[in-house]
Chains A and B, each alone.
Chain A
Amino acid sequence: MAMKISNDKFTDRLETNLKNDFMRNAVASAQERLQSRRSLAAESLGNWEEWRNHGEEIRQHVLQNLDYYLYELSENVSKRGGHVFFAQTAEEASNYIVSIAKQKEAKKIVKSKSMVTEEINLNQHLDEIGCSVVETDLGEYILQLDDHDPPSHIVAPALHKNKDQIREVFADKIEYTNTSKPEELALHARKVLREEFLSADIGITGCNFAVAETGSICLVTNEGNADLVSALPKTQITVMGMERLVPTFEEMEVLVSMLTRSAVGQKLTSYITVLTGAKQPFEVDGPEEFHLVIVDNGRSSILGGEFQSILQCIRCAACVNACPVYRHIGGHAYGSIYSGPIGAVLSPLLGGYDDYKELPYASTLCGACTEVCPVKIPLHQLLHKHREVIVEKEGRAPLSETALMQAFGFGTGSSTVYKLGSKVASTVMKPFVNEEKIKKGPGPLKNWTEIRDFPSPEKERFRDWFEKRNKGGNPS
């Protein structure tokens, strides 16, 4: 699966998802659960704002010195015998991993959760050379079984499905016969996946944070699957976005704590795994070979520009869980593996405006995303920045809207024009007024009045009342 998950138009995707009450209920209840847990976990620290400032500072420092830390990371991975590959594009990254799979004559590959491998469409490339790829994160596994249903959330990819739907998928695909109790479902998946781990030739992981000072990779999971992916197969490949690193363990500790609290409301997840390359001569377990693939795929063009702060993201999805628009449209409507506010900012940057120009408008700019972001990305401002670029640099706004906005500028830039316009408004709108309300409006008001009444312009504007009153007239 590449970053783009649908060829349907945005409006069609919206329509399909808005009608799906099943999904919308699942998303709404998951959001409420995750939000309240996040807020308790953040508050329990007592000084969350200071943590956020610190988190922001760490991420900004890394981005400002990215070349330095990438070099340090790469040197330290190499020192322990690891192979580092810098991939400028998605193709380069996939091709490199495919070449390793061919070289190892790999038949089976197990994977832990990784959004960047979805972004580079890795599974399909491996599939094409005849490798069987098994996702071992439970959420990703469910989606893979369900004929590659796309993820709808960056942390909980199967958030849009409930347990009964999952039971059906298991019954259909992996001979499951029990109830839809989560424990029973998980136990069955565990049994099936255990065999996959034991027979895999290559393990592929993502990377929550790479630690530059040691060349280590930190993985955050609740299922422990990343440990098995990295411990059992002879070859380990880790794929990371080029910005996902920290200078030392000290910063890693801060960010891991903020990540787990923000993502799932836990002080720590069940497993925080730190891996430092392949098995050394004195070690008893671990892979024999380690490859680190560092993916650019558009990130370096974001660096140094007005959207740089989006690279601070640690992929916790707190913004997704707080977003009132995501709540109603779900992840699939975004048309990208990156959904919610982070997706609406990132997808057009990585994938271009042709496919994603509507996403920055799918927000009320309410600021809920910015408020919860643990590394203080000004998400609503970046959404606004996209709109500015779309209108003023790209010239992609609809003509009718541009004309309306020009009129707005003309009408509000000078009080003379405004006063005249607002004075005649009540006369112009008269034919549409019914009991002081507009129930069926013309032009831009049409969409408004399809579902709600609009107040009719006042015959006596506030300013007229004020003036009359000041002159000693009788105020109405």
Chain B
Amino acid sequence: MKVSLFATCLVDMFQSNIGKSTVELLERLNCEVEFPKEQTCCGQPAYNSGYVKVSKEAMKNTIRAFEKSEYIVCPSGSCANMIKDYEHIFQGDSEWQGRAKEIASKTFELTQFIVDVLKVEDVGAKLNGRATYHPSCHMTRLLQVKNAPLTLLKHVKGLELIELPLKENCCGFGGTFSVKMGKISEKMVDEKVSSVQETDVHYLIGSDAGCLMNIGGRIDRKDLNIQTLHIAEVLNCH
């Protein structure tokens, strides 16, 4: 199966390991992975801040980059959801609405793709230790991908999953919210980190680089002995 990877700008520039793991994981699952070079960012930072016109440039670029793809897979629920929203954003735009709808229908978040399209629940991963999973808001509430990551994690050999208290609460990332409303964000991420600490785990696992940069950045600043991992990295341990 031929898969086009939408790596996301955060992964491309700051968290390349997530991208590498995603490629290796998909290849192990017999996918042929390509990386359309024209891709940049899904447009979410500007869109969520209210700069809709500006964000449309990034969106059009994404549409152009992936138009010919069969499946578009993205290791972020939030960015995948942004692409799904393109149709609504370009509503009434005769040139772009149809093209937006077309790529939205081919876009999948990574774990959703593995479980729902490839029909695989056990990717043969092994990782010893105790872990907790933070379900990111956009992925669970907007994209409605709730069970796929947990299904995959349950099959990871050696991994003991502990439920995160108050798991539904946002970690306080929210894109530009994290800097624009920094003081509120601080309280939110602190509460999230305390919840993680309560579980007494080795690993905090998430499916979105943004949330992980936020929680992980705070964990590092506090010098805590908890490793932050993207689910692609976990599923690629074997």
Contact = CB atoms under 8 A, between A and B. Distances in A.
B168 interface: yes
A402 B181 CA distance: 17
A328 B188 contact: yes
B174 A422 contact: no
A129 B183 CA distance: 44
Interface in B163-199: 166, 168-170, 172-175, 177-189, 191
Nearest to A333: B184
Contact of B142 (A367, A406, A412): A367
Nearest to A454: B217
A462 B11 contact: yes
B40 interface: yes
Interface stretch (B55-63, B106-114, B116-124): B55-63
Contact of A412 (B11, B41, B173, B179): B41
Contacts of B45: 408
Chain A's interface: helix, strand, loop or mixed, by majority? helix
A302 to B, nearest CB: 19
Contacts of B172: 324, 364
A361 B181 contact: yes
B35 A466 contact: yes
Contacts of B7: 462-463
B178 A328 contact: no
Contact of B138 (A367, A389, A391): A367
A146 interface: no
Contacts of B185: 364, 451
A329 interface: yes
A266 interface: no
B38 interface: yes
A437 interface: yes
B170 A364 contact: yes
B103 interface: no
B15 interface: yes
Contact of B141 (A367, A408, A409, A450): A367
Nearest to B209: A455
Nearest to A448: B179
Nearest to A416: B38
Contacts of A445: 179
B19 to A, nearest CB: 4
A324 B49 contact: no
Given A371-B141, A466-B23, A452 B180 contact: no
Contacts of B213: 454-455
Given A405-B46, A463-B35, A362 B181 contact: yes
Contacts of A412: 9, 40-41, 43, 46, 57-58, 61
Contacts of A33: none
B177 A363 contact: yes
A475 B20 contact: yes
Interface string B45-69: 1101111111101101100010000
Interface string B209-233: 0000110111011000000000000
Contacts of B50: 384, 386-392, 397
Contacts of A439: 221
B160 interface: no
A422 B39 CA distance: 12
Contacts of A391: 49-52
Interface string A455-467: 1111011110111
A458 B51 contact: no
A465 B19 contact: yes
A465 B41 CA distance: 18
Interface in A376-416: 384, 386-392, 397, 401-402, 405-406, 408-415
Contacts of A164: none
Contacts of A15: 183
Nearest to A367: B141
A453 interface: yes
Contacts of B12: 422, 461-463
10 contacts: A368-B137, A368-B168, A386-B50, A408-B58, A409-B58, A410-B57, A411-B40, A415-B39, A461-B13, A463-B7
